[in-house]
Amino acid sequence: MPGAIAMAQISPSFQHEALNLIFRDRFTDTNGTSLANHTPEKNTATAGWSVAVGTATIDSNAADVGTATPDIAVVTLGVANYTVRCLMTMNAANRFGVILRYASTTSFVFIEGSGDVNQLQLRTRDAVGYNTISQTTFTWSGAIQLVARLDGSSVSATVGGTTLTGTITEAQTAGGVGIWGWSGDTADWDDLEVWK
């Protein structure tokens, strides 16, 4: 079927499913273009990118963020259960991540890489602050592939062969995905895809 992909190409643990691509962005645009003014290659939702906090721009055909704490750019999907794939590159020892399900700036689930302390964390943000669901030691080196599956309150994220799983308590019924950076131009994101 056109637009479908065998799940085995995304994650061996879901080989029985065939998924449809609902969002893709390879961030091909003029350097300096705000993500708010950038059109993704494929987007079945009605809205495009929104820069919720700070800045997020195109830099050398990848997404980049500014110096806020944090910078957040998201696209609303209108669905809650999906698989996210993204290429993440750390350029300096700091914190960055991919938002896996987003409701607001104080309610989202994300995967965070921390180069300064060599960690990979599955986290949530709520009205009180940041919470860690699962974490492990992880050394960042170059571009690393993220694949995450959200299904109800269950989330599983694999980054560079390391998998984190957990149960989320966020009350989101329809989500969005995005990028999250902390304090500076320390990471790039590319080839962001969402499969339903």
- In this structure, whether the domain defined by 24-195 belongs to CATH 2.60.120.560 is answered with yes
- Show the tokens assigned to 17: 């499913």
- Show the tokens assigned to 51: 């820069």
Query: Rounded to an integer, what distance in angstroms lies between the CA atom of residue 173 and that of residue 177?
Result: 13
Q: What percent of the chain has pLDDT over 90?
A: 57
Average pLDDT, the chain: 85
pLDDT value, residue 184: 64
Query: Which residues contact residue 59 at a Cβ distance below 8 angstroms, ignoring those fewer than 6 apart?
Result: 31, 32, 185, 188
DSSP category for residue 60? S
Query: Rounded to an integer, what distance in angstroms lies between the CA atom of residue 161 and that of residue 126?
Result: 28
CB 20 within 8 A of CB 3: yes
User: Taking residues 53-60, what's their average pLDDT?
Assistant: 93
Query: Which residues contact residue 113 at a Cβ distance below 8 angstroms, ignoring those fewer than 6 apart?
Result: 88, 90, 95, 96, 97, 119, 120, 121, 138, 140, 159, 187
In tens, the pLDDT along 92-136 reads: 767 889 999 998 999 999 999 887 778 899 999 988 999 999 999
- Show the tokens assigned to 40: 């993704």
In the numeric block, the tokens 């987007």 are attached to 43
pLDDT value, residue 78: 83
The burial class, CB within 10 Å (0-12 / 13-18 / 19+), for 141 is: exposed
pLDDT band at 15 (very low <50, low <70, confident <90, very high): very low
User: Taking residues 79-103, what's their average pLDDT?
Assistant: 88
pLDDT value, residue 7: 39
pTM: 0.87
If you average pLDDT over each of 18-22, 42-46, 154-158, which comes out highest?
Answer: 154-158
Q: How far is CA 103 from CA 74, 97, 109, 124, 193, in A?
A: 10, 16, 9, 11, 19
* Better pLDDT: 79 or 186: 79
User: Taking residues 54-61, what's their average pLDDT?
Assistant: 93
